[in-house]
Structure 1
Amino acid sequence: MLERYFRPFEAGRGLQEQLRENLLNAILDGALPPDDAMPSSRKLCELLKVSRNTVVLVYEQLVQDGYLTPSDRRGYFINEKFLRQQLNVSLKAKSPALFERPDHAPDWERRLQTDSAQMRSIVKPRNWRDYRYPFIYGQIEDDEQTAARWRDCARIATSGAHMRSWVDDQVMLDDPLLVEQIIQRVLPKRGIQARPEQVLVTIGTQNSLYMLTRLLGRPGLQMGLEEPGYVDARNIFSLSGCTLRPLRIDRQGLVVDEQLRGCDMLFCTPSHQSPTGVTMPLYRRLELLASAREHDFLIIEDDYESEQNFLGSNHPALKSYDDSGRVIYLGSLTKGLLPGVRLGFIAADAELIHELRALRRYMYRHPPSNNQRILALFLAMGHYDAHARRLRDRLARKWRVISRALAEHLPECHASGMAGGSSIWVSGPPAVDAWALQRRVARHGVLIEPGDIHFLGEGRGGCYFRLGFGAIAEDRIEAGIAALGQAWRELHQAQPA
């Protein structure tokens, strides 16, 4: 019975770690009777083809952690008392009804104040790496050079004075070295000047938006959103009870006209409009700021992918032209670096940052200080700039390949967006069903993202889809778009005349 808990060992992971996991699964599942000794180290090493020392070391770790009790000349036994304390479940008589919902369970539907789980949101398959052609947005291709430099910075961060800077609970404060690097290296590239009291480190853009909504949102507040636009922003503002107002965009981004009148606040993505990728020109940015002053509304600027314009120089951020303090700037520090690290920041008036810092304290105090220091070192040592240059060059090559491939294999479609970013927004003929195309193209190993989710109103955007090219290898793009074109033709032929 025990053998079924020992899966084949995975390459790249320690044997002790995997053996410990397998033994714990068996113990917690009740596969090993508490009154019987654990298999001897000799028997287990023969069964698993590992050294006896490995088994003994794992047994000793489980003793130290309380799961096992050693007995002279008898071996190791399960510490049932400890497990009962931890799980409140007897291993001798495990109840089959343990996971059944009892009659006296709370009525969560009545108690819940929001229905966030029911909101329409982007769903990305966990197994996206299994697709041969993953045109998925928001993920990156493995970069061993960046990973190695991150590991070096992590090692440095655990030594000497660097370690003393993050082991203590900082309560409300951010890593001063990271804030310094944001002010000196990150913001100036966007044309922004700031003081330390005008910067707050967050755990990503969604977290920044949520905190802003907690402070500034309220039922009935008129919240302007680009249409189509960023899905998570729409849902976060909706949770606070804001009245969502879809705002038209064109080939130059958000349209600045009378549609902005009556907004209390608006969210926009001038550098690369999400999801279409178009860039707002300078004259319109100035018009937007003038409109904000005239009509007295705030602007939340999400400056994602700001360093990835492939033709010409980067456009200065909207915040760089703001002399009234109406623009709240959101920056991501790890989106194109290591998306799983989840670090970003807000740059805004000191009064707002002061309130955000107080709110953050009650949410999670501060982002993990060790990651803040690692990223600060990564910036200070020039690795961040080097990564940005490599990423920009890599994405520029991919953009050229995917643009040519779309023109050849999907001439019926129109690809929007400027030469920049890590995705292309594609629109097909009105009769196209992007979800049907997604299902069909998946048979060819291609992953695409239907675009209807980016529209506020249901039933819109059915002919749009997004192709992210940040995670796919350059040499697979051509074949992936060719497969997409083949699926497109199959779908068209399958439609009734």
Structure 2
Amino acid sequence: MIVDAVLSGQLPPGDPLPSCRAMAKRLRVSRNTVVYAYQRLVDDGFLVARERSGFYVADDVMQGRVQPPARETPISEIPAGDAPDMERRFRIRPSRQQNIRKPKDWRSLPYPFIYGQTDTTLFPLAEWRDCSRQVLGRRMFDEVTHDMLGEDDPVLVEQIRTHLLPRRGVTASAGEILITLGAQNALYLLASLFLQPSDTVVMADPGYPDFRNLAQLRTNRLRTLAVDAGGLPVDGRLDGADYIFVTPSHHFPTTVTMPLARRQALLDYATEHDCILIEDDYEPEANYVAEPTPALKSMDRDGRVIYVGSLSKTLFPGLRLGYLVASRPVVDELRALRRLMLRHPPTEVQRIAGLFIAQGHHDTYVKRLGKTYKRRWRLMSEALDRHLPGTSQAPGFGGTSFWVEGPAELDADALAERALHEGLVLEPGSVNFAGDRPPRNFFRLGFSSIADEKIEPGIAKLAALIGEQRRPPR
């Protein structure tokens, strides 16, 4: 706070600071804490200590810093006619698209049935911190601080190639793997490289809204097919598709798993009609109920499947680390394209993740998550059967969420808003549907971040709120 006050001009050079005793009393902290903080600021050049006088803002603290010119009128108050019309110059308006929204304060709420977030109490923080310390040691620090240009950290690439991909039945060389800033970054790169206005893109409905929004920025020929019990249908409605986006192992958001026979049919169709399949395997480590099903990419024999994976879902969303697997020519072009965008994901973060996997911490964590998720999966299934019978089916894959179909007259968007006031977070399902009039009676309940003992009372409260919405007004 003191540094901010100095740099913003609130504490100009030469100004005295409160004495250590006065500051400690004001902040209700130890005097030693204030002495330590002041001394650190002296060492950093922000303050000077004058014997028997106290601490002062250093006279040369602003040396080398350009002072912004004083404005007679703030930019926000400039008359509209005098300011450039920036909006007229926008080529696209992505801010107008429908997106999944999550409350920022969800951690403070008692019933966070939020999807895609982690329970930090389960994360092996000490092990992650230890990997961070290793990377910040002198030997490794030299390796991760130089500009990699378009390359990725070889340690992480090798761990993905030899450790993570074989679990999904996928084999790849190092040159067929590209590290990305999460799965979304991978999808953006693919859309930028491939999609043209004349291309036809097919995906399931409901489906992943961020990919739908992304595709609609590139082409007007987006086609959606209603999902069934086996995921994306494979029939004549695919005809004319140039690219097909699928989430076969765990359909987003309905959680259904595509049977092996349909996967093979999809691959055969792609080969026969010369189209490309984009497989988003967004929860690869969340299969703890049934026997693991191989990724669609593992069945690919002619390089028609581009595989997108994520580490953020397993570790933590803020990590923003993912990867894609494709043929060497595709990865080479994507690497060159990525260089124009961001060079490469932070090498330090890549190396920490690579060590975390190599030293076995990732495996241990995944096993812990599997046990926890399986227990919560069972508690969720029982609670939904008890309080909202017939509205959902327990995901056979496992995963971290339930897709719920409420009564036909239910408005899940209004329900979510009402539930938030009661401390309950749920995700309305309408955003996942294409079209101007999506069904509003679907919603998603995540269980990755909610404590076991909160599941039953949370579902009971949710059922009561649904009952209130269905009750006709007096």
Which residues of 2 match residues 23-422 of structure 1 at below 5 A?
23-27=2-6, 31-32=10-11, 36-62=15-41, 67-68=46-47, 73=53, 75-77=55-57, 82=62, 85-86=65-66, 88=68, 97-98=73-74, 100-103=76-79, 104-144=82-122, 146-411=124-389, 413-415=391-393, 417-422=395-400
Mapped contact 2:246–2:277 kept (Cα < 8 A)? yes
1:447 paired with 2:425, answer yes
Structure 2 CA distance for partners of 1:205 and 1:227, relative to 1, 3 Å:
same
Gaps of 5+ in 1: 1-20
- Match for 1:98: what amino acid? P
CA contact (8 A) 2:122 2:369 kept: no
8 Å contact from structure 1 (residues 218, 242) kept in 2:
no
1:220 Cα deviation after fit: 2.5
**For 1:232-257, what per-residue CA distance to the aligned partner results, in whole angstroms no more than 9, with x for missing partners?**
11112222235211122101100000
Q: 2: CA distance between counterparts of 1:74 and 1:397?
A: 60
* Maintained 8 Å contact 2:285/2:314: no
Alpha-carbon offset, residue 68 of structure 1: 4.6
Q: What TM-score does the superposition give when structure 2 sets the normalisation length?
A: 0.93
| Separation (CA, whole Å) in 2 of partners of 1:381 and 1:84 | 46
Quote how far apart the aligned CAs of 1:439 are. Answer: 2.4
Q: CA deviation at 1:87?
A: 5.2
Contact map agreement 2:7 2:62 (CA 8 A) in 1: no
Contact 2:115 2:446 in 1 (8 A): yes
CA contact (8 A) 2:114 2:447 kept: yes
Q: Secondary structure of the equivalent of 1:477? A: helix
For residues 166-217 of structure 1, what are the alpha-carbon distances to aligned partners after superposition, in whole Å with 9 as ceiling and x for unaligned? 1211111111111111111111111111111101111100100111111101
Alpha-carbon shift at residue 221 of structure 1 (Å): 1.3
8 A contact 2:297–2:306 mirrored in 1: yes
> Equivalent residue of 2:307, what SS?
strand
The amino acid that maps onto 1:105 is: A
Q: Given the superposition, is the C-alpha separation of residues 309 and 75 from structure 1 closer, same or farther in structure 2, using an over 3 Å criterion?
A: closer
How far does the alpha carbon of each residue in 1:211-234 deviate from its partner, in whole angstroms, 9 at most, with x for none? Answer: 111110111211111110001111
What is the rounded CA distance, in whole Å, between the counterparts of 1:369 and 1:84 in structure 2?
31
Q: Secondary structure of 2:471's partner?
A: helix
Identify the residue that residue 12 of structure 1 maps to in structure 2. none
Paired residue total: 471
Q: How many Å separate the matches in 2 of 1:349 and 1:243?
A: 26
Query: CA, structure 1 residues 96+472, in 2 after alignment: closer, same or farther (shift >3 Å)?
Result: farther
Give the superposition deviation at 1:413: 2.3
Whole-Å separation in 2 of the counterparts to 1:98 and 1:79: 29
- Deviation per CA, 1:23-80, whole angstroms, max 9, x where unpaired? 2444456554666423233432343343445434434544565655666757413658
Q: CA deviation at 1:338?
A: 1.7
Mean Cα deviation higher: 394-403 or 78-87: 78-87
2:439 alignment partner in structure 1:
461
Structure 1 pair 178–35 and aligned structure 2 pair: CA distance change class (3 A): closer
Q: Deviations over 1:412-448 (max 9, x none)?
A: 5234642411001001221111112212322332111
Mapped to 1, the partners of 2:445 and 2:72 lie a distance apart of 47
Q: 1:172 and 1:28 mapped to 2: Cα distance?
A: 36
Secondary structure at 2:124's aligned position in 1? Answer: helix
391-400 vs 29-38, which moves further: 29-38
Letter in 2 for 1:345: Y
SS at match of 1:466: strand
Q: Render the CA deviation track for 1:64-120: whole Å, top value 9, x for unaligned.
A: 656556667574136588289455167xxxx79536342443321012211111111
Unpaired segments ≥5 residues, structure 2 = none
SS at match of 2:255: coil
Q: CA RMSD in A?
A: 2.3
Secondary structure of residue in 2 paired with 1:414: coil
The residue type equivalent to 2:78 in the other structure is P
Q: 2:90 and 2:66 mapped to 1: Cα distance?
A: 29
Could you say if the C-alpha distance between residues 417 and 46 of structure 1 is closer, same or farther in structure 2, counting changes exceeding 3 Å?
closer
Q: Distance in 1 between matches of 2:75 and 2:34?
A: 33
| Paired amino acid for 2:358 | A
Paired AA for residue 77 in structure 1: V
Task: State the 1:493 CA deviation.
Answer: 1.4
Query: Percent of counterpart pairs with the same letter?
Result: 44
Q: Distance in 1 between matches of 2:59 and 2:314?
A: 47
Kept in 2, the 8 Å contact 1:223–1:242? The answer is: no
Offset, 1:357: 0.7
- Counterpart CA distance in 1 for 2:72 and 2:387 is 56
Give the 3-state SS of the residue equivalent to 2:309 in structure 1.
Answer: strand
1: CA distance between counterparts of 2:357 and 2:409?
Answer: 48
Distance 1:46 1:447 in 2: 41
Q: Which moved more, 1:34-43 or 1:460-469?
A: 34-43
More displaced stretch, 54-63 vs 259-268 = 54-63
Distance 1:407 1:79, change over 3 A: farther
Residue 445 to residue 33, structure 1, CA distance change in 2 (3 Å): same
